[in-house]
Amino acid sequence: MIKTDILIIGAGPTGLFAVFEAGLLKMKCHLIDALPQPGGQCSEIYPKKPIYDIPGFPEVMAGELVDNLMEQITPFEPGFTLGERAENIEKQKDGSFIVTTNKGTKHQAPVVVIAGGLGSFEPRKPPIKGIQKYEEKGISYFIKDPEIYRDKKVVIAGGGDSALDWSIFLADVTKEVSLVHRRKDFRGALDSVEKVEELSKLGKINLITDAEVVDLKGKEKLESVLIRHKDEARGEELKTTDYFIPLFGLSPKLGPIANWGLEIEKNAIKVDNSYDYQTNIPGIYAIGDVNTYKGKLKLILCGFHEAAIMCQSAYQRINPDKKYVMKYTTVSGVNGFDGSKKEAKREVIKSIN
């Protein structure tokens, strides 16, 4: 069991900055994120995109902002459970919460903060009727163990790097691998595109372009997929296969948090913004893009503000008998849990005085 003061669900910019604000108040944080790395949407979707509305940064790459936030919180030694999704929450008699991930990792904290942004990222499923029926019975959205596909027939759909890379990899593993793509052009790395074309010419990848998988057939498990060609003359073809792997990227979902008994409005968690960004369940807060209130702005800088306010309230909840006095880092410096100490040089303080 991982124990901490504040358990933060979501390691995006807001969650990371909450670690800093909590650290100033000597509260230890642990973060859970479904993605394998911190940074949330900034790292996963647009690390190379510039952001222009972070105060003090005329321009900063999303990935660079995450790197800076990670550096900023290092002295507070946060813990991370990455690549796992917060699944269940149970309130304990002492008022604390135990949050369990989809992989069974348990975390206990008196305060839980949901900083989940747009939610956890889950595979985008093509809108094929009855697709759920064959999940785990011939359809996978991730490739976990390529050996499963050895000497089997596999159909992959998609036109991005994942679809290209796995087609290349599985060309030597499977009995037959087909890559179905809506267009003739692929948007993956040039090397991968060329490799797929080469393997196609060698007959090791069955490349089917300008086509889509539109239906699935099978009794107990998937037996074939129906492919529709754009060219009406070619029409449709039924292709027998053991597996169908649609690789269309990731899509954000609120996920299991939606079932935690929190008040939800328009796919976001309602909070008391007039006071502390607490949800309808005392001890559970929601900050950043995942929350909603009248006048809400989904901006990183608003998430930072909400993190600071939330930490004051969390401090009072964790330390009901202590009086909190707000301090400026310009005066008090930053004292990390790792023994580090940062403070303004004396001559600077003198000149201010």
- The site for other proteins (CB under 8 A) is made up of 41, 45-46, 49, 118, 122, 124-127, 158-160, 181-183, 185, 187, 248-249, 251-253, 266-268, 298
Residue closer to other proteins by CB (options 133, 327) is 133
Residue closer to other proteins by CB (options 87, 289) is 289
What is the closest distance, in whole angstroms, from the C-beta atom of residue 127 to other proteins in the complex?
5
Q: Using an 8 Å Cβ cutoff, are 16 and 38 in contact? A: yes
72 assigned to a ligand binding site? no
What is the closest distance, in whole angstroms, from the C-beta atom of residue 159 to other proteins in the complex?
5
Residue closer to other proteins by CB (options 99, 155) is 155
Residue closer to other proteins by CB (options 3, 253) is 253
Question: Which residue, among 24, 77, 17, 70, has the nearest Cα to 332 in the 3D structure?
Answer: 24
81 assigned to a ligand binding site? no
Burial of 123 (0-12, 13-18, 19+ CB in 10 A): middle
What is the closest distance, in whole angstroms, from the C-beta atom of residue 189 to other proteins in the complex?
13
165 assigned to a ligand binding site? no
86 assigned to a ligand binding site? yes
Please count the other Cβ atoms lying within 10 Å of the Cβ belonging to residue 199. 19
Give the distance from CA 45 to its chain's centroid.
Answer: 10
3-state class (DSSP) for residue 9: strand
Residue closer to other proteins by CB (options 91, 124) is 124
Please, which residues have CB within 8 angstroms of residue 158's CB and are 6 or more apart in sequence?
Answer: 181, 246, 247, 248, 249
Residue closer to other proteins by CB (options 4, 14) is 14
What is the closest distance, in whole angstroms, from the C-beta atom of residue 34 to other proteins in the complex?
15
Residue closer to other proteins by CB (options 75, 126) is 126
Q: Using an 8 Å Cβ cutoff, are 254 and 267 in contact? A: yes
Phi, psi of 222 (to 5 degrees): -65, 135
Beta pairing partners, 268? 265
What is the closest distance, in whole angstroms, from the C-beta atom of residue 193 to other proteins in the complex?
13
3-state class (DSSP) for residue 112: strand
Question: Which residue, among 155, 167, 164, 83, has the nearest Cα to 126 in the 3D structure?
Answer: 155
What is the closest distance, in whole angstroms, from the C-beta atom of residue 182 to other proteins in the complex?
6
What is the closest distance, in whole angstroms, from the C-beta atom of residue 26 to other proteins in the complex?
35
Q: Using an 8 Å Cβ cutoff, are 296 and 271 in contact? A: no
What is the C-alpha separation between 197 and 267, in angstroms, rounded? 42
48-56 long-range CB contacts below 8 Å, 24 or more apart? 51/300, 53/299, 53/300, 53/301, 54/300, 54/301, 55/301
337 assigned to a ligand binding site? no
Report which secondary-structure segment, H or E, holds 67: helix 62-73
What is the C-alpha separation between 249 and 158, in angstroms, rounded? 9
316 assigned to a ligand binding site? no
What is the closest distance, in whole angstroms, from the C-beta atom of residue 303 to other proteins in the complex?
13
74 assigned to a ligand binding site? no
289 assigned to a ligand binding site? yes
Instruction: State the amino acid at position 348 in one-letter form.
Output: V
Residue closer to other proteins by CB (options 49, 234) is 49
In the annotated binding site, the residues are 14, 33, 41, 46, 86, 121, 289, 330
Residue ranges of the annotated binding site for FAD are 14, 33, 41, 46, 86, 121, 289, 330
